[in-house]
Amino acid sequence: MKAKLTASAPILLVKDVIYSANWYRDKLGFEIAGFYGEPPGFAIIQRDHMYVMFCKCPLEKIIANWKVVDKTSNVYFWVDDVEKLYEEYKASGATIDWDLCTQPYGVKEFGINDPEEYDIAFGQVIS
């Protein structure tokens, strides 16, 4: 019997882990699981058992995936009600990068831009 993968957590390089964690809390409804280091150089956030980690980047310029390969997100979350989440994020003032749309591959999705200009996408498989 093979070992089972139980979760994943993308790590995003950021200029300020406290600012990023607070932004995801305030705009996207994540909870801050912890800050690490003094001053904090690492943070973990979570929502609905989905995690994202932030690591302070010593580089001046952080390059988001979409700036290298067009229409490529840094993180993609599958959700159970994409329309409800879209309305939640619009109401919170999150920066909507692309509006709710149905893709040819059978997914209704939208994306946001975070403070580092990372694209974070949210999609729901439709029948």
The pair of structure tokens assigned to 19 is 């600012």
Q: Could you state, in order of their start, the residue ranges of all structural domains in the chain?
A: 11-125
CATH class of this structure's domain 11-125: alpha beta
pLDDT for 59: 78
Is 122 within 8 Å of 85 (Cβ atoms)? yes
Q: How far apart are CA 9 and CA 66, in angstroms?
A: 20
pTM: 0.91
Task: Kindly report, residue by residue over 39-83, the tens digit of the pLDDT.
Answer: 999 999 999 999 999 999 987 788 888 888 888 899 999 999 999
In this predicted structure, what is the pLDDT of residue 63? Answer: 86
Number of CB atoms found within 10 A of residue 72's CB:
13
Question: Measuring CA to CA, how many Å separate 56 from each of 13, 60, 62, 68, 93?
Answer: 6, 11, 11, 21, 25
Q: What is the pLDDT of residue 60?
A: 76
**Of residues 9, 20, 28, the one with CA closest to residue 85:** 28
